[in-house]
Every structure is written in C-alpha cells, then in structure tokens.
Amino acid sequence: MGLSDRFRSAWIEAVEEDLECPQCASSNQSAKGMIAGEMKCDDCGYDYSYNERVSTKSRSKEWREHEEHVDELVESAMGESVTREALLEGMRFDNKDNLLVEFLDDGEQPHYILKGRTIDVEGGGDSTGYWGNDRSRKNGTEGHVHTILTDKRIVAHIPQTLGDDERNVPYDSVNGVDFDTGLIHKRLTVQTYGRTYHFSGSKSSKEECRDAAKFIRIMTE
C-alpha cells in the first residue's frame, strides 16, 4: 500500500463512525480520487465531501428517525424491491427530501415497489386525444413513477413539473390483473370496474413484476 493509499485509509477510519451519504444515508462509501475528504457512495453513486456530510448532518438525523420503522417495513415485506434504499429514496430529481416512505399511511405495509416512467389510464372520462378515446398518460417528468403495492391499496406517485400526481386503486375495486413484458418495456395492467391502469415497471426486474401481479391476485381473491 502506497503513502497516498495509507493516508486515505487512515482518513476513512478517522471519520467512518460519523460518515453517511447525504443523499441516501448509506454508510457504505469509498474514497474518491487522491484528495482526502472526497467520497463516493457505494450504494447510490453520489459524490460528496466530508464538509458536505457535516453540513447535511441534520437531514441525516431526520433519516435516522425513520430507520427503525423502515427496517421493520423491509423485514415484513414480501418482495425484494422493498429495501431501506428504496423507502428512503427521494421521489423527485430536484428534491431528495421527498421520501417514498412518507407517502405511506400510518400502519401501512409496502410489499412491492415498481419503478418506471409512465402510467396510462383508460376509462373514467380522464381524457380524450392522442392515446385514443378516454385514455390518458402521465409521465414522470421530474422523477421515476413509483407504484407501491401495500397491504391496503395500489398507489402510484407521478412527479411532474407543475406538481406531483397520485393514483390510488383499492383492492376491492380490482377485477383483473396482467403482466406484459417485451425486450425493453414491462407493464403491470390492473383492471377495475371503471378504469384500466397500465403501470410501467421498466426499471424493475421481470421477476419482481410477476410476483407483484401474483400478489394483487391474492389480495383480490
């Protein structure tokens, strides 16, 4: 190990007890480059400095208040997509404080989290136009569309430029579910008595999307 490597290792050991990523609160980090004090998060890839970590320490304290509750949610979830990183993820590209876990109701247990770019809704008089009669599309222009399957409902959060949108589907209104997959796109289709929802899962694995569809079928039996 060279002198610079020993210096960087010593610096990491000196601050590791107090060092967390300002973006995702992970304690897994690596020294970046040759300059002591510059770090890279191994989990989310965020680059930051020790000074930035100190300046955002108050925000990390707020995250730590969530940790015990978040860990319980992760342990009780059926799907592998419900992780601490996912629940503490910022929902908008421009606002990392808007955490996914904060969109859950008190006592609500998430089981699957699907991530994509769009949600299409057919029926219900939402829109007419380009996508056909009575069909509307919502794009996550300011972040990914997150579709959360909980023990109470299906909720999709759509971050948009002029304000975030949300779709809630209670299980007792669902009369059909299907999962479509292609070379690139993955889509979870949920039919209700008034509308059909197409939730994008383009950023999630096929296995997790299939398991999510099975979960909905169980919840609607």
* pLDDT reported for residue 126: 56
For residue 188, the domain's CATH number is: 2.30.29.30
> In terms of domains, do 47 and 146 share one?
no
> In terms of domains, do 24 and 117 share one?
no
Placement of tokens 């292609």 in the chain: 182
* pLDDT reported for residue 98: 72
CA pair distance 154, 170, nearest whole angstrom: 6
Kindly give the pairing relationship between strand 165-170 and strand 153-158: antiparallel
* pLDDT reported for residue 61: 56
CA pair distance 137, 118, nearest whole angstrom: 7
For 35-74, list the strands marked E by DSSP.
38-41, 47-49
**Contact partners, residue 144, CB within 8 Å, separation at least 6:** 115, 116, 117, 159, 203
> In terms of domains, do 191 and 87 share one?
yes
> In terms of domains, do 107 and 21 share one?
no
Where does a domain end: 39, 55, 71?
A: 55
> In terms of domains, do 40 and 100 share one?
no
> In terms of domains, do 111 and 212 share one?
yes
Q: Which one-letter amino acid corresponds to residue 163?
A: G
Specify the DSSP class assigned to residue 132.
Answer: B
> In terms of domains, do 31 and 92 share one?
no
Of 110, 84, 92, which Cα lies nearest the Cα of 25?
84
Number of domains in the chain: 2
Inter-residue contact 38 to 49 (CB < 8 Å): yes
Q: Which one-letter amino acid corresponds to residue 194?
A: G
Inter-residue contact 88 to 100 (CB < 8 Å): yes
Statement: the pTM of the whole predicted model exceeds 0.75: no
* pLDDT reported for residue 202: 92
* pLDDT reported for residue 135: 77
User: How many angstroms separate the first and last alpha carbons of the chain?
Assistant: 61
Where does a domain end: 32, 55, 78?
A: 55
Range of the domain at 23: 3-55
Of 28, 15, 78, which Cα lies nearest the Cα of 212?
78
12-to-17, 26, 184 alpha-carbon distances in Å? 9, 15, 40
> In terms of domains, do 77 and 136 share one?
yes
Long-range CB contact pairs, 26-31, < 8 A, 24+: 26/85
> In terms of domains, do 27 and 84 share one?
no
> In terms of domains, do 36 and 141 share one?
no
Intervals of the chain under pLDDT 70: 1-20, 22, 32-37, 48-66, 91-97, 124-133
Where does a domain end: 40, 55, 70?
A: 55
> In terms of domains, do 46 and 129 share one?
no
Tell me the DSSP string of 146-203.
EEEEESSEEEEEE--TT--EEEEEEGGGEEEEEEEE-SS-EEEEEEESS-EEEEE-TT
> In terms of domains, do 123 and 20 share one?
no
pLDDT tens across 78-136, in order? 999 999 888 877 766 655 557 888 889 989 999 999 999 999 999 866 554 554 567 78
